[in-house]
A and B are shown apart, each in its own frame.
Chain A
């Protein structure tokens, strides 16, 4: 069945030429010299006042990177990147030492206001009464770390988080203030030798967020990072490290936008999550980098390595992503299910338009006993875009009782685009039960039957089941994200193909 009109209209509203965040902030910035060499790595490290061990770590990664070749297996096509023709570090020029938010360049504050990201806590503090006398809704309390090009410009709610024992700060600060934690966990999930882009990131990452939630603490608010690429010809390489100690819980959100430019820009981030015994990390992304114009010119190359390690027993990591931006996406948020009874989840909605190319999916590596994972992926391709789901589910010899359920649906709008599904399912254990399906009609026949029997049409029933399932996760996103995401989710399932 072809897509229904409603779906077509909805996707049209987020087409590439409707990009709303393409403005540029005119601000003076401090940049590293163009090109990449050991000197660039030393420059970045010096800028960040890093200890010697950190510089050594970076240099080691850089030397290894020189021996690696760019991967070509993904279904994406782009001209060769000249790694010497990029700036690896750009920071808004500080007028003086910044002591409070008021001293941050007002241009930057304006930028975040335009993007709808509040950096001023006053407006959203607990107990603030809005003009009509109602208390501000609980969900708008989000601590934000704002990353502008290569540096973190502001982090909100630091004090309140500190009271709870939660560490939330730019990773550059964490390297100085909490070296023991950083040393222990940095590179432990995504080793510096992992892949071409992750190794490059290890050498030149400039900033990102660091989160540590101590044992037994439920993080009192949502944590969020908002990434903005502003500078021309600049690569953004951020690094995020989140550690949830025993029995803790944290929910983390990231958002990304960039100005409209004719040239392509590289974004190669690394995100590492560590969940110890009984801990849970919920990581949500609304990725809306500039996707290029309607002729396929410009846009961000989003080559990201995201991986979570369920290191402890009964730990849980869940990835939720709503992907609408970037010229090229190459990203596979993964879960290593190492601890017994650990659980990994991946919920993804990837919408591609114009000339966008998406090659995204997940990996669920079952190593521990009774580990479970669930993958729900919806890809929607329109325009002349190519949208690929690529996923790996594997059960190790010792992963007795492992279970996976995967459902990936794709929808095509128009006949110039392509939707592809490339799942790898590797069972090395007889007691592992894997189910993979790519047809909507197969989603729980019993539930569908129940709904249809009560008067819903087949499609309404399918919509109810899947939307109900996905919404369950999306409703936990804060308002700003949820509104946009839900608009995308409510897209009808009619006409979907596997």
Chain B
């Protein structure tokens, strides 16, 4: 056994022992009473009368008869809909240019939850947080309810008549959209192009991949993105690409990457991830070696990496300056050369030259047709920045003709949005199919609102030869029409889009393998997925390295890095409160965007930090100044600051409006490509205090250690117990024993089921998909920024993010100042670990013993049950919970105007998303993770009806089923064949279970609360422990 002596900290407040943080640390609940916070006065006579009036009314109400309740059945019940029986449909999530293949759960004809489609190879069963949250966007009251002409309500026939006339008169029509990767949509647009003369289709992406597309066109003659298979890679080098956080198809990337990180009895090797980046991203946080670079240095690093490899394999080098820190780059090059054909180099740069070099590196390493496939191209990004820039020009000089915005919002999410917005008014015919009156569509003449994806028919080809389908899971809520059908109608084709789509598929070769077309189509809809053989073409690589020129000019000014938000994405679902309240995986902040700065910069600029308090600063980019709060972010590269996209919507709806600042206008066009960083910006602290809602620092373990246990691969291979903190206690006779051997508790015997969960800290990337899945499944309210600031977040499942440094580097002999310096250095680029934390379902639960009314009790299946209707709200349980996972309902969050941002509970339409099998909790009761007991009960009942035991994998909690990397495994530990039993190597004893897997540990094991949740040690693929590496 070899313990790593590391100090874990959640934020700089904790590391520096900030006074406010320390003051709040042991207070789970704020001191002041939550009511009448804005009121300084105490209860008035008026209040007294109100209370008395209410009292009398309530008393007389009780005396009355119970109100009559109605039961209203269907008039004609649809054959396949049974009340209270869920139906599942395969479909595809498609909002903006986000994509995910899904299974949708519907109840009484309304979608309430999505799951990943395990049939689909393009994301392998996982979902993104945005896809999970998208069901609520369906029930958004602020979607357009009817078509509109000039902002006034209109009918479809009226709109079609007037618009068709105008379109036929236009001498040019421009259709603007995000990347379209639906073959039938493209065919519908083709019909449109055929009907009218001079139609141009312009595609752009808010987060552009223009450089990569252009590079691939030069290297392979194909303007397409290559598909990467991270599961085959031994060495991955990412230079500025957040492959796990928000790179296209990151759900699939996470799954593949996690496969290479799983360790066990038979598998003692794992991949190694190098990351060179400016902002601390999910990829950097999961990297084994992370190097902080400035964004302007990306090209330089790629070129140097190329030279290092070219030097070894004997290829021509490129002319480029040296990089400051070559150590990690040399190491990476060495590893890449060791794993030729089993490595991946990826860059997030939108510069064609950089991407050409990346292609050259991958070519030298022989990665094509091994880990990278250019034939199976990824179609998710097709946008052409240059074409879009031309469009902006023609909009300005009014030569664009009629403009149709096909589900895109360039006024918000294009760098030239303001210019586009100004020129729309001067164009005669403007149309938008957007779902709401957003920044773009509120300016156009004709609004032809599209269905939500859950109301639509569609097909997609996200990867060449891999198709997925969309089918409606609810009939359209509003008087909307599918945009594709609108295009068909305007082209004079009056068939429905459904017929059109079917007609197109009738000619597919695969139909012949089925008895008839209907059988083929039914199968496609059932699986939601269809794969075609893609003829593999020989790899033709054109070496264009000689033409590459890398801009090595390094500015000394501050560089701003603009990146996609990990919660809101590009901002497509700007009015979704779940995504707003989801805390950022790295900063743990929500309901805001902010500028991230390094600790050094904060020091130099005298930023005073407090508990969730910071200061505002003026950010000036090319003459535009905005006011933003500053967050000190460990791991931020010196000389850089970061900002998230997706915020600053002005017309998204009441939830998303005016949250944060829109960073899209800061994007710059360099050589015709959108560059997501800006050099020479200024950031000036104004000194105005500001509060940023951060979720994590609200809970602490009060100095108890060993919540996280970790080691490095080398040590793990030698000793599988590496990094484990194995608690021993000394009994009265002086013998050392495991705490399990000494106990006052009786223990439980579980005859039927014993539910448990195993969480692999090694494969959890921290993406947060599980937190939203939990929120949707369990009707968890959104509390808003103010209450998060009060420490009253309601999330049942949170992901704790820890930074760490090695304690051994600070000894008693180290002076105070030196110790601070060491800590500071550690904070500059710390190691990161993510830990999903939910109710641990303790067998010796501390909460159960303190409840005065037995509202929280233990079940015969190992669950710690929470009975809301019994709870009287003493909060003793939460105080006694060592994991701080219990949540108290300070307010009535439903039907309460004060929480109008909690749209899932505060309007009739939003309420349709609630899970009918889970109680909406009342004010004054405690709640917490139930291990999705409603799913357990439903699964058991299904098994009983079929006279069998439940099959492993049939009953899965919402978090585990949404996890793209399969880090969470849920199951019955009484079933020796279950995945969890095998993973943890469960040994059953009389009244307890033991996990024999060396990596498995309980958080805070020394408390001996015997959780039913096991964590598995984090193993980093480093050569040495971090301390030694620092010295080296």
Q: State whether these chains interact.
A: no
